[in-house]
Amino acid sequence: MKVLLLKGPGQLSFTEMPAPPLAPGQVRVRIRKVGICGSDYSSVAGKLPFTRFPIVPGHEASGEVIETSTADWAPGDRVYLHPILCDRREPVFARGEVHHSDSTEVLGVVSRHGAYADEVVVEDYMVRRMPEGVDFETAAMIEPVAVAVRAVKEGLRSPRDRVLVFGAGNIGLLVVQVARALGAAHIAVTDLVEERLELARRFGADATYKADTSLTGELEKQFDVIVDGVGTEDTVRNALTASARGARIVVYGVPSGDIVFPLRVAFSKDVRLITSRLYNADFEVAVQLVAEGRVAPLGIITNRIPLAEGPALFEKVFKGELKPIKVMMTP
């Protein structure tokens, strides 16, 4: 099968490798569309601490079942992936809390080759049926919508809530749409790139701010929910400054190291710091928002390429020659 194989930091190549055998409880899926996640750039660059080499990356994918060892699926079924691996024997699996297992890992990062390929073998619990009328490209975007849904739901408590989003990358733009769909009263976004802020406004942001200027006075104590997709000490401190009393700071961006959190200030404002890593087994809200058209994930796709062009695209991104928001690949 044809794959993008990551042999080490920066060593991504289009090559062929043997298709893995199908074990009991597994499904083989022909990949039709696979998106590049922000974490994939970190993986390829060697900056994601969880990545193990060699690995075929990729976890935002849709396709068709071509072989199965379980009666729940049949060849030809149109599916998308829920890409979390979890030990079925653990109690958290039965509760649907696949993101809280000690064995939790994301497809294409640690031990299981992912979807940057023309086919992939996954556990049967990682396959979801595509909603009626949804195309492969939209289905491949359900997973990142689920990331945004969890981050927003962790913070949003009232239709009066004012939401501030740090970062208008692909997840940040989905956070804007999800927050609007779930009833936020006011949504503001910060980013360094004006084109991304323009997209944020198009998707429902009420206000946007360039992140390269001091926003302390302008945003101080103005927000009930701050969703941080950057995850640095500066952004967490800025989030605390922007927090109104009783606010929730939700961090979904992967921190590159330990962060000092000003607990005394947070205590004085009764602010809660919440992390939002991954999601549970239930994609119901994400699927509903997409199927109803309340979230339009295709609007953030800026580049569509064949799988074979993946290494060249990553190289251009790392050199600063290309700044895509969302890339969709077709094997």
Q: How many CA atoms lie within 13 A of 147 on its CB side?
A: 28
Amino acid at 26: Q
Distance, in Å, from the CA atom of 262 to the CA atom of 264, rounded to the nearest integer, reads 6
Are 95 and 277 contacting, i.e. CB atoms less than 8 angstroms apart?
A: no
Question: CA 125 from chain center: how many Å?
Answer: 19
Token output for 221: 């104590």
Query: pTM surpassing 0.85?
Result: yes
pLDDT of res. 256: 80
Residue-range domains of the chain with CATH: 2-141+301-330 (3.90.180.10), 147-275 (3.40.50.720)
Distance, in Å, from the CA atom of 3 to the CA atom of 117, rounded to the nearest integer, reads 4
Beta strands 12-16; 2-6: pairing state: antiparallel
> Which residues are 36's β-sheet partners?
327
Reduced to 3 states (helix: H, G, I; strand: E, B; else coil), residue 276 is: coil
pLDDT of res. 213: 65
pLDDT of res. 257: 86
pLDDT of res. 110: 96
How big is the CA angle at 85 (ends 82 and 91), to the nearest 5 degrees? 105
Q: Where are the beta strands (DSSP E) in 117-206?
A: 119-123, 127-129, 162-166, 186-191
Residues 6+ apart with CB under 8 A from 116: 3, 4, 34, 56, 57, 58, 108, 307, 310, 329
pLDDT of res. 214: 62
Amino acid at 93: F
pLDDT of res. 211: 87
Give me the tens of pLDDT residue by residue for the chain, a chain 331 residues long. 999 999 999 999 999 999 999 999 999 999 999 999 999 999 999 999 889 999 999 999 999 999 999 999 999 999 999 999 999 999 999 999 999 999 999 999 999 999 999 999 999 999 999 999 999 999 999 999 999 999 999 999 999 999 999 999 999 999 999 999 999 999 999 999 999 999 999 999 999 999 876 666 789 999 999 999 999 999 999 999 999 999 999 999 988 889 999 999 999 999 999 999 999 999 999 999 999 999 999 999 999 999 999 999 999 999 999 999 999 999 9
Are 141 and 118 contacting, i.e. CB atoms less than 8 angstroms apart?
A: no
- Give CA separation, 58 vs 16, 110, 115, 280, in Å: 16, 11, 5, 19
Q: What is the 3-state secondary structure (H, E, C) of 93-140?
A: HHCCCHHHCCCCEECCCCCCCCCCECEEEEEHHHEEECCCCCCHHHHH
